[in-house]
Structure 1
Amino acid sequence: MMAFFWQRAVVLSLAAAMLVYADMKLDCSPDTVTVVWTEGRSQADLSLFRLGSCFPTSFSATQAVFRVDFNDCNFRRLVTGDYLMYSNDLTYGSSSDSQSLAFTHPVVCAFARPKDWYPMIYDPVFSTHGVGHLVFHIALMNDDFSGPAESTTFALGSFIPIMASVSQKTHQPLLLLLEECVAATTPELQPESPVYPIIANKGCLVDSRMSGSKFEPRQKSSELQLSLQAFRFGLGQEVFIHCKLVAWDPNGLDSTKKACHYVKEHGWELLDNYAYSTLCDCCDSDCKSRRTRNIESGTRGVAQKAVLGPLTITDETS
């Protein structure tokens, strides 16, 4: 897939003089982009650069570097004619003690539209829209989510770090959600199986109502991190966590496609945008959709069931 890009000189008149002393290099690939901004002004603080919502991957006295996925940093996707375009804004926000003015510069990558890519107004006969195959993952992590857990035993009241993700490859950007999770003492759920509800009601972290469990701030749209406080259910036994993972159109969130947790003294909050926390108002009742077509129709996303475990919760005080 061949990529090309356009760089307009400046979008703000205030930036015109400043860009004389700067240079931007852009390297577009099918899944990622590298932006290197080289600055000639000694008074500029390159840590103040942002690509959409992302901080620089690295920076020095003269360069700010971003190496990011199109699924991150709030890239905008546009299909026009024979091209699939990803666009964003490189911004510089000057600090109060800086002599440099704030400005914005466009970042655009365009690709020849794949022949088997369909815009969402169509309904082709396959389970997901876009290009590529979705692969879901769920795993126990170490305390800072930087790698896999070294142990599957957790003390009662400690936190169990869990990360779910979806590998999207060249698929259109999707948001990873956990629609439902329950704990059980068996690797397969049966109708009569005793369960402990963790996430229910279409994305409500119900366990956070009575514990310190919470969703961690999202690092990537394709990942979801959960700090689950170890519970008494299945104490001392093997415990399996059964979840329904959903990869969903990020522009299609509603009361049935969301990630909500309960924050003490604040109530239910939406992980991805606090301003829209009213989507979580149904978490104490019944979250229903007004849409007649649901996720199984494949119109806006895809779901996958997964099992995590076994893990063991112990009571060190007994």
Structure 2
Amino acid sequence: MMAFFCQFALLLSLSAAMSVSADIKLDCMPDFVRLVWTESKSQADLSLFRLGSCFPTSFSARDVVFNVAFNDCNFRRMVTGDQLMYTNDLTYISSDSRFLAYSHPVVCTFQRPDNWYPLIYEPVFNTYAFGDLVFHIGLMNDDFSGPATSTIFPLGSMIPIMASVAQRNHQPMLLFLEECVAADTLELQPESTVYPIITNKGCLVDSTISRSRFEPRKTSSELRLSLQAFRFALGEEVFIHCNLVAGEPNGLDDTKKACHYVKKHGWQLLDNSALSYICDCCDSSCKSRRTRSLASGKHEIFEKAVLGPLIITDQNS
């Protein structure tokens, strides 16, 4: 069993906007970690805590608990000398302006076992960071209340996908899926076989031939997609490659949109159906724009993400 070397957590000082007094306990075990956050005067919604990509294992009016393995939640592993270190981020994401989103590192350090060697293959993670921005995209359960319990989907069933972005000390950002394709490879290559899902700066083209749709937003910095499982690479690993764009929550236009096709009604704009004419270009070509970085002061960020692998099965074959 892995010898315990030391354990510690760099725990955050809460924003003054939260006005919360919290006690945090971290137990680093050989293969998993237990983190308990206890508030003496609860004001925040504790269900909005995340440890990496993981939702709380449980929570109450005063406590939020994570019991998770180091192989889950997008823990990062680093080996330096005789130390083996696992790091992650405890984050809080809220659309309530009284509670600022924040993120802070959680670290477990052990003595490196003599027989430990790095894996030849590391699974791809689906949380991405750019400065103080944290992007996430993941498979969800049917009502989007938690992560999916399976990555196998029968042909024709719905694949719930949620993307989100969090930034400290900033108002909620507006998130879009600009482009998404399914591929039979982890990395897109010229020889990769692909299936278009979202094209043309936010047009859910798959919705023209299926029941796929964007679901109503819960917050501006979150986007939910119900994708109908399609006939592509049946029985094999499928990876969904997406371009995510986050920016200020204003100025919808034909390059900053989420559009899906509604039978007998045509293209509909998710965020304001009265402006659905913005989606007219989905049948032709929507103008491109230069994506800007935080360094420019324009607060519009572009990020590539990969979701998967998942498997689509045909029960009739």
TM-score of Structure 1 vs Structure 2, range by shorter chain:
0.5 to 0.7
Give 2:161's aligned residue.
Answer: 162
Deviation (angstroms), 1:167 = 1.6
Give 1:138's aligned residue.
Answer: 137
Counterpart contact for 2:151–2:309, Cα < 8 Å: yes
The whole-number CA distance in structure 2 between the counterparts of 1:203 and 1:295 is: 17
SS at match of 1:281: helix
TM-score by length of 1: 0.59
Deviation (angstroms), 1:186 = 0.6
Which of 1 and 2 has greater Rg?
1
The whole-number CA distance in structure 2 between the counterparts of 1:150 and 1:281 is: 37
The whole-number CA distance in structure 1 between the counterparts of 2:266 and 2:17 is: 46
Deviation (angstroms), 1:278 = 1.0
Give the direction of change, closer, same or farther, for the CA distance of 1:155–1:133 in structure 2 (3 Å limit). Answer: same
Give 1:311's aligned residue.
Answer: 310
Where in structure 1 do 4 or more consecutive aligned residues deviate above 3 Å? 1-4, 69-73, 293-298
Give 1:295's aligned residue.
Answer: 292
The whole-number CA distance in structure 2 between the counterparts of 1:159 and 1:295 is: 34
Deviation (angstroms), 1:70 = 9.8
Give the direction of change, closer, same or farther, for the CA distance of 1:317–1:169 in structure 2 (3 Å limit). Answer: same
RMSD: 3.1
Counterpart contact for 1:141–1:161, Cα < 8 Å: yes
Give 2:114's aligned residue.
Answer: none
Deviation (angstroms), 1:2 = 5.1
Give 1:277's aligned residue.
Answer: 276
TM-score by length of 2: 0.59
Moved more, 168-177 or 304-313: 168-177
Alignment deviations for residues 272-303 of structure 1 (CA, whole Å, 9 cap, x no partner): 110111110100100005x6x54358524101
Give the direction of change, closer, same or farther, for the CA distance of 1:72–1:278 in structure 2 (3 Å limit). Answer: farther
- For residue 295 of structure 1, what is the amino acid of its counterpart? R
Counterpart contact for 1:134–1:171, Cα < 8 Å: no
Moved more, 213-222 or 169-178: 169-178
Identity of aligned residues (%): 67
Counterpart contact for 1:71–1:222, Cα < 8 Å: no
Give 1:252's aligned residue.
Answer: 251
Counterpart contact for 1:235–1:312, Cα < 8 Å: yes
Moved more, 194-203 or 160-169: 160-169
Give the direction of change, closer, same or farther, for the CA distance of 1:274–1:192 in structure 2 (3 Å limit). Answer: same
SS at match of 1:157: coil
Alignment deviations for residues 127-160 of structure 1 (CA, whole Å, 9 cap, x no partner): 99xxx71100010111011111111000000000
Moved more, 249-258 or 234-243: 249-258
Counterpart contact for 1:71–1:221, Cα < 8 Å: no
The whole-number CA distance in structure 2 between the counterparts of 1:207 and 1:71 is: 31
The whole-number CA distance in structure 1 between the counterparts of 2:278 and 2:167 is: 26
SS at match of 2:227: strand
The whole-number CA distance in structure 2 between the counterparts of 1:71 and 1:152 is: 28
- Answering whether residue 217 of structure 2 is matched by residue 222 of structure 1, we say no
Deviation (angstroms), 1:3 = 5.7
Give 1:45's aligned residue.
Answer: none
Structure 1 gaps of 5+ residues are 5-26, 34-68, 76-85, 87-108, 110-126
